[in-house]
Amino acid sequence: MIRRLIILLLIVGCVFANDSLKNILTPIQYEVTQNCGTEPPFKNEYWNNKEDGIYVDIISGKPLFSSIHKYNSDTGWPSFYNTIDSSIIKKDSDFNLGYRRIELKSKSSNAHLGHLFNDGPDPTGLRYCINSASLRFIKLEDFDKENLSEYKNLFDSTKSTPLIVLPK
């Protein structure tokens, strides 16, 4: 009996959480993050963003990617050769297109982010192909007011190479 009650409460909680997200996110953000959708290439907010800053999970606010790892992959989506911290992104097999891809989700919110491919540039050879709709960009100049000061060191111009955290 208690087990059934706990399961019911979890289901109701998920429904309320989902309804809350529908009120907070735009339709494309909801479709991408909750239904593993994909936004159109070249018609999304960050595919061509060249400003210094970090990209956070649109739902949880957890830092995911840095502009120092971003590059132009000519795909029309934001592409990164690395993450800020690979332990905050989970990887699952995705066979929706009839072949294996690696789906990326945020561990903190379970939001669908995009996919990981092995055709990226050095030094990792990886391409994190990410939907803008799953991200919020925070400019370097806004790190202090967004309580992200600890990430300023990623942009320290006195370092000879950017910080690189290889995926596990």
Rounded Cα distance, 106 and 160, in Å: 30
CA distance 135 to 29: 9
Omega before residue 63 within 30° of 0, cis? no
**Catalytic residue set:** 129
Q: Which amino acid is at 43?
A: K
Tell me how crowded residue 142 is: count the other CB atoms within 10 A of its CB: 12
| Nearest in space to 30 (alpha carbons), one of 125, 148, 111, 151 | 111
CB 66 within 8 A of CB 55: yes
Q: Which of 61, 69, 70, 57 is nearest to 106 (CA)?
A: 57
